Structure 1
Amino acid sequence: MSSKEKDGPNTGHLILKASTVARAHTILAYTAFISALTLGLLLHYKKIVKNGVAGYPEEWFPSVSATIGDWYPERNVFQILIALTSGSPRLMLVSLLYYLQRSQESSLPAVLWGWVYITSSDDHDVHDVFMISYIVLNLPWMIGGYIQPPRDAQAFFLSIVPLVYFFVQHKVHRIPGAYTQYSFFEWGLIFLDVLYDACAEEEFRLNDLHVSLSKDVSSYKPQQYIIDITKNKKSFGSGFEDIVDKHAVLLSPISYIFWSVFTSLIPTLFYFSVWELAIAGSELALFSTLSPIWLSIPPVLNWVRTRSGQATMHLLSFIGVGAYILQSPLHRLFLVAFATSAAMIPQVVTWADDPAYQSIITALGLMLSSLSKHVNHSNNPVWPFIDERSGGYNKEGLLLAILALYEFFTRPDEGARPFDSEKNDCPESEPTTHWILGALPLGSFIFILHSLLADPSTLIAWSWTGYENGRPRGPLPHLHGSLTLLCQSFGLLIAIQAMKSSKVHLLANPLWFAFGSASSYVMYTYRNWPGYLGGLGLSIFIMGSFPLVLHNASSTRAVFKTSLTAMLVYCLLALANVWTVAYAFVPGGVYLRERTDLVTIAQMACLALAFRWPALGNRSVGASSLSSTVFSCARTILTLISVLGVLATLYRLPITPAQPFRPGHRMLRAGIWTIHFGIDNEGRDSQRRVMNLIRDMELDVVGLLETDLHRNVYGNRDLTRLIIEEMGYNVDLGPGPNSHTWGAVLLSKFPIINSTHHLLPSPHGELAPAIEAVLDMYGTAVTVVVSHNGQEEDPLDRELQSRELARIMSTAYPRPVVFLGYVVTRPHALRPNPYEILVKDGNVHDVDQDDGDRWCEYILYRGLYRTAYARVSRSTVTDTELQVAQFVLPRHGVGVTNDTEAARYLRSRKEELPPEHWFPMSYYGNQRWGGVNGHFYHVFNTPLYYAISDDAEI
């Protein structure tokens, strides 16, 4: 109702500018927080800067919750003002924003209308939960507002990164002063949040939005107010095309299944190569990705371009998910290879026919796959080698995919004309691209997506180098993986905005490629945070280049030749990437030994051909004809992916520091296990089975070998995720995938003071990794070494590696040492075999020199009292047993008082020792009876126990 309308005699009338409501909300909100901060600093400064870790002067600036909720009178002033803010101004602001942004094009404003957030509480734990909730719930509110219509919220998002980092430093690592740094970003989020809502004032003013309050006294009710809102706004039509586009985004679950099946192929086939340690023949399954060769037959191409053809091929690809039912690894491989072959055919056809739309759908499917791995402990829940026992949700994934396919198949006819195999939708005047220039970038692009962005923590594994002064030098996969998802979302948002504004040509500029190349160089060259930041830049570049690469490939007008060549390029790059590590097992592999730099250069060189270089001619980059609904829905999905990624990280954030199992007895249980790349004898993921045995044995320190799984052949996984998230270990991942080893991991219930990653001398054979870490065990610094030496085929390598390990252990003297390693030697073998070199030159003792039935795994020690030693059978988890030793630390500052052989071999029965020294009784048994899940004490059929000499000081 406008002010010019006639007012009846029984009607009161009041018109209020909507911008006034927004201004009142801003003033009240800022006043509430600023007044509380001012009063708190003046009246209770040292009290509000103190927290559970430290006080003044280490902490010198208060958090939001301490300022507004702990002391009188600032708490009361804040509560009164925030109550005024959250009443009519807040409710009216949200409602007016909904009215301003609503349209028939999108349902997003209706979703945002109901979005609210929760602030902090007096209770410490509840405060943490509510603060996280406040941040997470604000993400959809701001991103949604950014989408409908665009508003300035980037500063809020950027503040979240350091906020989470300093919160982890305070909450997990308990570092004094970290909470002060966290507080600055916390206050920044508050003020940016209010500033964000303050932007509504300008929007209301520009749209001339008013609120009219009319008091109707003509009815029987004494008081009845009628609220009318008027706005100068264009009307929006709702065409049939918009409805189709809105539902078309539901294809993203089908794209998710495509990426799930596609990324499961190589891990499924490589199971056989690992067991053979040579070419096993299963590698031929990789070439099932070359199925686009069938598109050379025109009737096949025309059929696949129909809806029924695409639906049929998608349905056949779902067999790859259903393959989890089969018990035989070979049978699963057959089905996964067939499913991959079926999935590739409709995928490359839709890339060629509709590159703009498919760039969005394919990218969303990849990010959904990556998110599902981040949420599910680094395992895609619908992979065929994952089942319910190992954290799989295969049935749910199949159901979701079938529902999406049903929606696609029953969708109303869009009126699309049939395609011809020799023609393309591009106008005849539009220049075409030579099929080679379209195929090479596409193949390289798919390889980069698979090898670097299929899991959020892969880029972190490339940069990780360990700990220094009790703090990680770089990002940790389980804490910072969501940052990769955020940057991927940002890159895709750049692409979406470029398509929406018809500026995709800007992404074809060589300067954009220069940014991607520079990011790739930084990622490869540097480590820790600088290297990871380079990886984040590369993720932005790759996701932002999605529409460019797909359009470049589609403009060749040669679907068969382009797609087949692209997948051949992908296969060659995938094989080359494997050979950089597995060079000893393939003919000619020595030429690619440790040459990830060549693979990186090759992938970027191929990708460069998609950009507009003067020498390649002025090629078209295409324009998008998609409706705004598609862009809106895509950005909504990206918002949800980003929010869920951050939420999953915060949900699993450790609440308390890791604690050893027996802190009151100064005891240490350590174990070494070679877990065969996390694939058990049945070809299934073994992460949960590994965790169960570690938990039952109550191991404080664990060395895991053959764990570098951030490669395509192992599914870009992280075998530590479940263990550290469920059991609360500190983790140090050994040299990353760019260091060309089979990997090593150190899990510790004790704080890691410092750690160093070593690449042991390996002139002939495989490169051997080692982790040297100093742990704080009950106030005593203890060096723990985890290593994986070369195989018996290379005796010189093993000799040189053993000398280096002995040097590391002897240099640590007189500090206590625990060695957990895979060394390939017989007990008491003389030089140049590793045993004598390690024991004599390293100045350490064998865990039990009378155990002559060993070959590869060894536990050595110095400066500790060993009280127990056990060998636990592997069951079907891997090809190697778990060895466990138990130690007691001497009294702090004293050391071992009697280190003679007689004192070390005072054998005992468990009944003669306190029960806290006993290993679990449930693991007594054999292959026919007893034990747990196929694990039991073998070789000796019981743990070996040792008494501590009477003169020991413990």
Structure 2
Amino acid sequence: MSSKDKDGHVGHLVLKASTIARAHTILAYAAFASALALGLLLHYKKIVKNGVAGYPEEWFPSVSATIGDWYPERNVFQILIALTSGPRLALVSLLYYLQRSQETSLPGIVFTSGIVRTLSCGGWVYITSSDDHDIHDVFMITYIVLNLPWMIGGIYATSHKCTSVRKKRSIIASGFFLSIVPLVYFFIQHKVYRVPGAYTHYSFFEWGLIFLDVLYDACAEEEFRLNDLHVAIGTSKALNGSVAPTQVKYIHIGSSPPRQSRSESPKLKSTTAPAQNWSLTLTNLLSSYRPYISFTSDIYLSYIFWSIFTSLIPTLFYFSVWELAIAGSELALFSTLSPIWLSIPPMLSWVRTRGGQTTMQLLSFAGVAAYTLQSPLHRLFLVAFATSAAMIPQVVNWIDDPSYQSIVTALGLMLSSLSKHINHSNNPIWPFIDERSGGHNKEGLVLGLLALCEFFTRPDERARTPLPDEDKDGPTDSEPATHWLVGALPLGSFIFILHSLLSDPSTLIAWSWTGYEDRRPRGPLPHLHGSLTHLCQSIGLLLVIYALRSSKTHLLASPLWFAFGCASTYAMYTFRNWPGYFGGLALAVFTMGSFPTILHNASSTRAIVKTTFTAMLVYCLLALASVWTVAYAFVPGGVYLRERTDLVLVAQMACLALAFNWPALGPRLTSANTISSTVVSCARNTVTLFFILGVLASLYRFPTAPIQPFRPGQRMLRAGIWTIHFGIDNEGRDSQRRVMNLIRDMELDVVGLLETDLHRIVYGNRDLTRVIIEEMGYYVDLGPGPNSHTWGAVLLSKFPIINSTHHLLPSPHGELAPAIEAVLDVYGTAVTVVVSHNGQEEDPLDRELQSKELARIMSEAYPRPVIFLGYVVTRPHALRPNPYQILIEDGNVHDVDQDDDDRWCEYILYRGLYRTSYARISRSSVTDTELQVAQFVLPRHGRGVTNETEAARYLRSRKEELPPEHWFPMAYYGNQRWGGVNGHFYHVFNTPLYYALPDDAEI
């Protein structure tokens, strides 16, 4: 629609906004449809072919191959998609115009994500996979991830009067995100497992995402039409003369400022008004954003609390590990009982002040700064002091402001878990992490000080700034007071559950993991699926936000909600693989959703000292009990908790039950003080941001190329065994990167690592494999999980794992011994690898029975080649009932070098392979055990070893007589005084041992 002035010129043009949205839909669909049609017509077999297979195994093209590889479809697509950009940017802007609000920043976030999403679309469209595969993937992943705030935020921002639009967007967005699951699955089958035909299935879901993506944006047409939105282009003079109905909403686009009528107030038509009349000063601007800054500071201070709190037990347990007994350092655990100091009335009053809170939190920062200390004992003293200081203001906040703290404490825990997920399962500000092991302690401390300065300088009289519309009343006095013990037991149990199960996203995965079958993992992988834990934590927290905002917290305190938590716990403990992990995910929803119930129940006791002190005592007892279940052989009374994780789970749920509204006990928690719309908006946006970051971290770690051995084509394999002492080195610091560096330099294709089950609070809920598999590329199999009560085993392999089985070896008296039996595809030959950790010297019967079971496993694998990598407490050539003779004779295997009589714990055994070298590398200060490595050559495919006599196996050689690819690194020659690398060097023989192949060997 247009109008003309008196001279006949067009004054302005009025467009229906719905027309712009329709133009976007038509152009977008036309771009993709034309490219697909031209590609199928002109280059069908070329665009369906990929790096794994071609036609007929692959018979439908991917989006990238269709739009980016061939002329003319690539050029037609790029022209049409360029024409789409104008309507797309207009669509995003018009939606913001309709949805913007003074009450929430959500429309602004949606607008920002929409703009960046559009720009990233240009990135993957005009930089194709054939131009730069990595850059193309980065833009594509960014585009997909930004659909989270764009779609989810767009649904919430849609006007309530447009219910049909909101419903359509919800359905389309659900279909979009659900399609990502099979998309990722088939991509893994194609990229990692190289399954022919998988990429065709992947392509269907990829095209489905394109269809749903455009369809979601097409919903804007109906929203614009329902709001009768128009866009007027032209001068304001022409616009003012328009005869358009006054009730129609217009957006004016033009260069002339609107004229003022004489009836307008002088203030509005004045052109000389001071700047402060139409713009905010810097101070006012900061004041308007102060609530959001304060909320961010509170989350970061909560993150520091969780970082210090979760670092205490790993710091003290360093001493227990070295002593393998009660070392006295365990007393530091009771620094968490510091709320007892609140029994002094002046202390409690002071902690409730701004200065008291700031002082105690500043003292707790010593736990972050403790990384500068070199002595493990000094670090323990400082971390214990910091934990004691951190607990005091934290419990006061829980009791004084349970609604707000339900949000902030939960987000702080999620941020701690997220930081671990991003940083290879290590919290970057832990005191036993430093710059050498991936720490960012300095940066974390600086941010903490800035957050604390903001906290101290807030303009509010209370210890935190009230956000707009916030209810300033505390818990109502009309509610009956809860007995302090009823408030304490659930709180202590709740803190223990958060720490033991949700402080790292991969802990729940470790509980359910059982290995591989038919070349595929039976369950989720920690580095790829950990963000699912964050998703379920987010869902639980969103339930909390909804309940607090709508005064429906009683729903999260019902017995039915508790029954859901019990059922989830049972499923997590009983089942394995995906069913067990789903149980753990449900438990994550329940636990996060129970935050207000637990904190309000504790705050209603009105006995802050008794409640918080007893709660932390319950936490300590549950923490010790969880350790006793696996450390029973080294602690007094451990026999009563041996392998009884079920008792710990029952105890924690029984304590938790007291917080819920059981009819027999009468109503207690009927409602809670609500939170403001600003807190709701901030919390919801923060939850979304954390989840997006978790997904981005998982996608960043996603393997982009097939895993390859170090020397492909040589039919050569290097294997090693190393007991790495729970990933804590002699200095009490994380040793993941030091372990990785030696494995990389030795170019080990297969590695067995022992004492690796770190998904317990005593080890920080860590994963020792994360750095290695994410930076070097390995298939990984973690031995029996925390609920199997072993010290853990890990198999890392550069070769695909066909099948794997986890064993708990017979252990009637001593500690449980884990073993992994895996069949690897080594250059097309199936090879069995066994990784095991046998019992202690004090239990000869256990060692005998365990050795017989290992021998049975290796014997039954015959005639398949076997490599044994294990910790076996025995002397070389020791006769029965010692393990050595049992393993060699009953297992039908050979010792890697029977003349090496200086061994005690670690052994490499083999069968059906040619051993060409063997070396022992000193541990430096990484652990208490050396690294042993051996190199093998596979016989020609379909053939076996032609001569396994002792003479043929011990044709000793000098390295110069072998091809260079058989040599181990020259840099590791040396001793403790000189040479070597990072303290590692060839020892015992001072050189690797080399062996020549028999003349009749077929390789």
- Aligned match of 2:634: 585
Distance 1:158-1:449 versus aligned 2 partners, 3 A rule: farther
- Aligned match of 2:270: none
Q: Matched residues in 2 for 1:365 and 1:667: separation?
A: 48
- Aligned match of 1:392: 439
Deviation at 1:923, TM superposition (A): 1.2
Distance 1:510-1:18 versus aligned 2 partners, 3 A rule: farther
Letter in 2 for 1:170: H
- Residues 635-678 of structure 1 show CA distances to partners (whole Å, capped at 9, x for unaligned) of 22222211221112222222222212222322111111000000
Deviation at 1:804, TM superposition (A): 0.3
Counterpart check, 1:284 vs 2:351: no
- Aligned match of 1:271: 318
Deviation at 1:743, TM superposition (A): 0.4
**Which of 693, 698, 705 is 2:747 aligned to?**
698
Of 50-59 and 627-636, deviating more is 50-59
Counterpart check, 1:131 vs 2:160: no
What is the DSSP-based 3-state SS (H/G/I as helix, E as strand, rest coil) of the residue aligned with 1:815? coil
Whether the 8 Å contact between 2:875 and 2:901 is mirrored in structure 1 is yes
Q: Matched residues in 2 for 1:57 and 1:621: separation?
A: 64
Letter in 1 for 2:148: L
Q: Matched residues in 1 for 2:482 and 2:565: separation?
A: 22
Whether the 8 Å contact between 1:213 and 1:228 is mirrored in structure 2 is no
**Which of 393, 404, 423 is 1:376 aligned to?**
423
Q: Matched residues in 2 for 1:754 and 1:55: separation?
A: 28
Of 124-133 and 768-777, deviating more is 124-133
- Aligned match of 2:217: 197
Deviation at 1:79, TM superposition (A): 4.0
Q: Matched residues in 1 for 2:256 and 2:23: separation?
A: 19
Deviation at 1:531, TM superposition (A): 1.3
Deviation at 1:619, TM superposition (A): 1.9
Whether the 8 Å contact between 1:552 and 1:621 is mirrored in structure 2 is no
Q: Matched residues in 2 for 1:358 and 1:402: separation?
A: 20
- Aligned match of 1:145: 154
Whether the 8 Å contact between 1:213 and 1:227 is mirrored in structure 2 is no
Distance 1:434-1:156 versus aligned 2 partners, 3 A rule: farther
Q: Matched residues in 2 for 1:308 and 1:185: separation?
A: 57
- Residues 185-237 of structure 1 show CA distances to partners (whole Å, capped at 9, x for unaligned) of 32332233223323334444454433233335899xxx9835999xxxxxxx9
Deviation at 1:749, TM superposition (A): 1.1
Deviation at 1:34, TM superposition (A): 4.7
Counterpart check, 1:225 vs 2:223: no
- Residues 495-539 of structure 1 show CA distances to partners (whole Å, capped at 9, x for unaligned) of 212222332222223332232222222211111111112211211
- Aligned match of 1:55: 54
Counterpart check, 1:454 vs 2:503: yes
Of 47-56 and 749-758, deviating more is 47-56
What is the DSSP-based 3-state SS (H/G/I as helix, E as strand, rest coil) of the residue aligned with 1:115? helix
Counterpart check, 1:345 vs 2:365: no
Q: Matched residues in 1 for 2:531 and 2:982: separation?
A: 34
Counterpart check, 1:858 vs 2:907: yes
- Aligned match of 1:25: 24
Deviation at 1:157, TM superposition (A): 3.2
- Residues 565-586 of structure 1 show CA distances to partners (whole Å, capped at 9, x for unaligned) of 2111111111111111001111
Q: Matched residues in 1 for 2:812 and 2:186: separation?
A: 43
Q: How many residues align?
A: 938
Of 661-670 and 740-749, deviating more is 661-670
Whether the 8 Å contact between 1:10 and 1:218 is mirrored in structure 2 is no
Deviation at 1:771, TM superposition (A): 0.5
Q: Matched residues in 2 for 1:759 and 1:7: separation?
A: 94
Whether the 8 Å contact between 1:502 and 1:623 is mirrored in structure 2 is yes
- Residues 11-41 of structure 1 show CA distances to partners (whole Å, capped at 9, x for unaligned) of 8244434344334433443444455556656
Which sections of structure 1, spanning at least 5 residues, go unmatched? 230-236
Whether the 8 Å contact between 1:467 and 1:752 is mirrored in structure 2 is yes
- Aligned match of 1:794: 843
- Aligned match of 1:870: 919
- Residues 286-312 of structure 1 show CA distances to partners (whole Å, capped at 9, x for unaligned) of 111111111222221111111111111
Q: Matched residues in 1 for 2:832 and 2:427: separation?
A: 36
Deviation at 1:57, TM superposition (A): 4.4
Deviation at 1:622, TM superposition (A): 2.8
What is the DSSP-based 3-state SS (H/G/I as helix, E as strand, rest coil) of the residue aligned with 1:661? coil
Counterpart check, 1:214 vs 2:234: yes
- Aligned match of 1:233: none
Distance 1:161-1:287 versus aligned 2 partners, 3 A rule: farther
Letter in 1 for 2:185: Y
- Aligned match of 1:898: 947
- Aligned match of 1:174: 194
Letter in 2 for 1:658: I
Distance 1:624-1:425 versus aligned 2 partners, 3 A rule: closer
Whether the 8 Å contact between 1:11 and 1:215 is mirrored in structure 2 is no
Whether the 8 Å contact between 2:294 and 2:464 is mirrored in structure 1 is no
Letter in 1 for 2:874: T
Q: Matched residues in 2 for 1:667 and 1:332: separation?
A: 45
Distance 1:130-1:935 versus aligned 2 partners, 3 A rule: same
Whether the 8 Å contact between 1:455 and 1:717 is mirrored in structure 2 is yes
Q: Matched residues in 2 for 1:796 and 1:742: separation?
A: 19
Deviation at 1:863, TM superposition (A): 1.0
Counterpart check, 1:817 vs 2:895: no
Whether the 8 Å contact between 1:805 and 1:842 is mirrored in structure 2 is yes
Whether the 8 Å contact between 1:147 and 1:632 is mirrored in structure 2 is no
Q: Matched residues in 1 for 2:476 and 2:550: separation?
A: 21
Whether the 8 Å contact between 2:550 and 2:674 is mirrored in structure 1 is no
- Aligned match of 1:234: none
Q: Matched residues in 2 for 1:603 and 1:530: separation?
A: 22
- Aligned match of 2:295: 249
Q: Matched residues in 2 for 1:279 and 1:21: separation?
A: 73
Q: Matched residues in 1 for 2:85 and 2:809: separation?
A: 62
- Residues 318-358 of structure 1 show CA distances to partners (whole Å, capped at 9, x for unaligned) of 10010011111111011111111111111111111111111
| TM-align CA RMSD | 2.9
Q: Matched residues in 2 for 1:663 and 1:415: separation?
A: 66
Q: Matched residues in 1 for 2:829 and 2:864: separation?
A: 9
Whether the 8 Å contact between 1:36 and 1:78 is mirrored in structure 2 is yes
Which sections of structure 2, spanning at least 5 residues, go unmatched? 160-165, 240-251, 259-279, 466-471
Q: Matched residues in 2 for 1:439 and 1:15: separation?
A: 66
Distance 1:902-1:311 versus aligned 2 partners, 3 A rule: same
Letter in 1 for 2:84: T
Letter in 1 for 2:96: Y
Whether the 8 Å contact between 2:235 and 2:256 is mirrored in structure 1 is no
Distance 1:224-1:820 versus aligned 2 partners, 3 A rule: closer
What is the DSSP-based 3-state SS (H/G/I as helix, E as strand, rest coil) of the residue aligned with 1:180? helix
Deviation at 1:624, TM superposition (A): 4.1
- Aligned match of 2:308: 261
Whether the 8 Å contact between 2:12 and 2:238 is mirrored in structure 1 is no
- Aligned match of 1:835: 884
Distance 1:227-1:49 versus aligned 2 partners, 3 A rule: farther
- Aligned match of 1:487: 536
Distance 1:416-1:824 versus aligned 2 partners, 3 A rule: closer
Whether the 8 Å contact between 1:290 and 1:568 is mirrored in structure 2 is yes
- Aligned match of 2:84: 85
Whether the 8 Å contact between 2:878 and 2:884 is mirrored in structure 1 is yes
Letter in 1 for 2:139: F
Q: Matched residues in 1 for 2:174 and 2:961: separation?
A: 66
- Residues 917-945 of structure 1 show CA distances to partners (whole Å, capped at 9, x for unaligned) of 11111111111111111111111111111
Q: Matched residues in 2 for 1:499 and 1:25: separation?
A: 40
Q: Matched residues in 2 for 1:187 and 1:493: separation?
A: 31
Distance 1:474-1:408 versus aligned 2 partners, 3 A rule: same
Matches within 5 A, 1:635-654: 635-654=684-703
Q: Matched residues in 2 for 1:781 and 1:907: separation?
A: 28
Whether the 8 Å contact between 1:922 and 1:930 is mirrored in structure 2 is yes
Letter in 2 for 1:90: R
Distance 1:297-1:498 versus aligned 2 partners, 3 A rule: same
Letter in 2 for 1:247: I
Whether the 8 Å contact between 2:976 and 2:983 is mirrored in structure 1 is yes
Q: Matched residues in 2 for 1:137 and 1:165: separation?
A: 21
Letter in 2 for 1:248: S
- Aligned match of 1:110: 108
Identity percentage over the alignment? 81
Of 21-30 and 515-524, deviating more is 21-30
